[in-house]
Chain A
Amino acid sequence: MPAWTWFELTIALAYLAGAALYPLGLGLRQPLCKKAASLASALGFLLHTVDLAAAGLLQADVLQHGQFYISLFAWLCVLLFFVAWWRFKHDFLSLITAPLAVVLFTGSMVIHPATAIVPEHLSLLWFGLHVGAIFVALALLALAFGAGVGYVYLERKIKTKSKIPSALQEMPALDTLDRVNALAVSVGFPLYSISMLAGFVWAAFTWKRVLTGDPKEIVSLGIWVLYAVLFHQRLALGWRGRKPAKMAIAIFLLSLGSLVLINFLLPTHHSLRAF
């Protein structure tokens, strides 16, 4: 196995250790175990940063590899987890982001590295904006998804007056989980919109057409409408709590489904694999 693969395997294992040790620490009430989980995730993140930087520097055609995008998405999820940890003083979102990082990163390792799909004549600014913004928005949605699942669960427990299991006693409060949702909506939606806009501009440059009828385009527009509804209800009508939490869960699941189904299985110019 080449050294490079070993390196990536180490990253995947570090993320895996982070994903496994955190729930174990919660269940066994061992703070050391949770600390070890955070350290493992941090190590994975550092190595992952090196991995991405090296890929960017060494491979001139890095933007043509689906592998790079998925890996970047995993990296952004972990980065945002650390930001959320610092911002909300709670590492609970590790329950969602760590397994997500494992799945995405190992997914990126499995994708055949020689897949060239993106047209070479990139209009870099628009394309970079398109891809960069969408991945940050998706990573924020991943956070909102985690917070949303936590919110729906905890809110149900409180409303029905049932006991919260001792392993979950340290869950963040409803208010904290709702603030994660607010962040994901207020920052994520503008980014998602920028990404869509940049995509259309890029399409106009490249294909001289704004809409190409690509399945990804149609689904993304649908998701954008849902996201816009959430954004509007949250900011204008003051939606809080369960409704936006559930909506964020739905939007993230749709986005993830669209990423897996469309980008990998359907013939589209957004494909991240060769046919």
Chain B
Amino acid sequence: MSQRIHVIGLSHKTAGVDIRERFALAGFNPVAAGLTQEHGPITEAVVLSTCNRVECIVVGEPGADVAHIVHQIWAQTCNQPVELLTQHTYCLNGAAAVAHVFSVAASLDSMVVGEPQILGQLKAAYRSAVEAHATRVILNRLLHKAFSTAKRVRTETAIASSAVSISYAAVELARKIFADLSRHSALLIGAGEMAELAATHLLAAGVQRMAVVNRTFSRAEELAKRFGGQAYGFDALSQALREADIVITSTGSPSVILTASQMREIMRSRRQRPIFFIDIAVPRDIDPDANAIDNVYVYDIDDLNGVVEENRASRQQEAIKAQAIIDEEVQAFLQWMDELRLQPTIVALLDQGERIARKELRKSIRQLGPDPDPQVVAIMERLAHSICHKIYHAPITYLKRRTQEEGSAERFIHQARRMFNLDGETPPEDAHDDRKRSR
């Protein structure tokens, strides 16, 4: 038996936000908490704790009750009953654990499939585990492979190429129209939670500046101060529209605040510079006919919802492609694990062979007399060494092949170790004399 990867965790799929809050493990140090120990049942650990999931990715010694240990320390750290924790956790190991880590990194397991934050969070979790000296060869490899798999998924599928929230969809559309947002300015007309969120996203996307127009000037000033922009009264709307390139409107006006013919006038004074309206007001603020004017783009809340829905559907399709990539990478990783498992057996086999060869070589050299010809000795040494390697070549190749077959690695390694007596088992009392002598 050899070390195994386990994932013990809870996520938005298995636990509500109240449970996730109670069992958050932010800033958890696996070494300090006694989760990992040099010769303990758990040798490596990475703990990921985000608002949507808390997961312990660990490497356990064979036979250890890894899930039990993790649950105990986890509940203890959070000062919560362990029974409550076990109700909401999932415990995966082996191939399933590897596949899960890869899916999480590639954002296939996220609440919003394809969202980019999770990869950064996993990288941060790994970094702090490395700093705490809680990772070794297996988790180092697993996490690096998870990052490269996530990158492959991102470049080879369109899973993350489309926005799935209204604000992001608006920012993405603005980019399709203006390319570099840092050379363009935005205008917020009216206020409201969603409009402010869209404005925040636009600023985060690099918009040069954000002006605010509101019927209540004091409210405009307040918002302008928050966004670091200029405030206008409602009477200065035309002037503000002449300067802005992206306009978010969300007033409570019962009728349109800007008609298509007014917009035509404004476009003339803008010298046809493109303008993009994100109209999230209901009823709408901008006359939909304005969309027909050259270089004017009007998207209302339904249009944006449409974009988001289409993107969601296409993400699900892309997720199928992404799953294929993950399956491929999981296979490659498991193969590496099997080879890693085989490594001590190969070394022991070759060691044994070389030991026998050296022993026999010494005997033969003694028979050459007290002062053997150094050239002959050198030739004999080479001969013994090469016979040993050639004899072991076939069994090693055989083992490598067999261990690549799913689920058979353990059995074949075990048989090989017994066949060549690599673990130095004592022969039973009633064993044949030849066997006793071979020890």
Contacts and interface: CB of A to CB of B under 8 A. Distances in A.
B168 to A, nearest CB: 14
Contacts of A115: none
Interface stretch (B169-177, B224-232, B388-396): B169-177
Contact of A169 (B158, B274, B291, B297): B158
Nearest to B299: A161
Contact of A241 (B175, B274, B318): B274
Contacts, number: 65
Interface in A205-261: 238-243
Contact of A240 (B162, B178, B180, B273): B273
A241 B275 CA distance: 12
Interface in B324-363: none
Nearest to A174: B177
Contacts of B299: 161
B179 A173 contact: yes
Contacts of A31: 155
Interface in A169-190: 169, 171-176
Contact of A166 (B161, B273, B295, B303): B161
Of A159, A161, A242, which is in contact with the most chain B CB atoms at under 10 Å from its CB? A161
A275 to B, nearest CB: 47
B200 interface: no
B157 interface: yes
A163 interface: yes
Contact of A174 (B155, B176, B271, B303): B176
Given A169-B162, A174-B176, A175-B177, A240 B295 contact: yes
A241 B314 contact: no
A240 B297 CA distance: 14
Query: Which bracket fits the contact residues of A?
Result: 20 to 34
Interface string A74-116: 0000000000000000000000000000000000000000000
Interface in B201-222: none
Nearest to B276: A158
B294 interface: yes
A228 B103 CA distance: 58
B161 A169 contact: yes
Interface in B150-186: 155-158, 161-162, 173, 175-180
A154 interface: yes
Contact of A173 (B156, B175, B307): B175
A242 B274 CA distance: 11
Contacts of B303: 161
A30 B295 contact: no
A197 B281 CA distance: 57
A158 to B, nearest CB: 6
B2 interface: no
A239 B175 contact: no
Given A29-B155, A161-B303, A169-B161, A241 B294 contact: yes
Nearest to A238: B271
Contacts of B155: 29-31
Interface string A30-46: 11000000000000000
Given A169-B161, A239-B272, A241-B295, A161 B177 contact: no
A244 B68 CA distance: 70
B65 interface: no
B307 A161 contact: yes
B264 to A, nearest CB: 14
Interface in B280-321: 291, 294-295, 297, 299, 303, 306-307, 310, 314, 318
6 contacts: A158-B177, A161-B306, A163-B307, A173-B175, A175-B274, A238-B272
Interface of A: 28-31, 154, 158-159, 161, 163-164, 166, 169, 171-176, 238-243
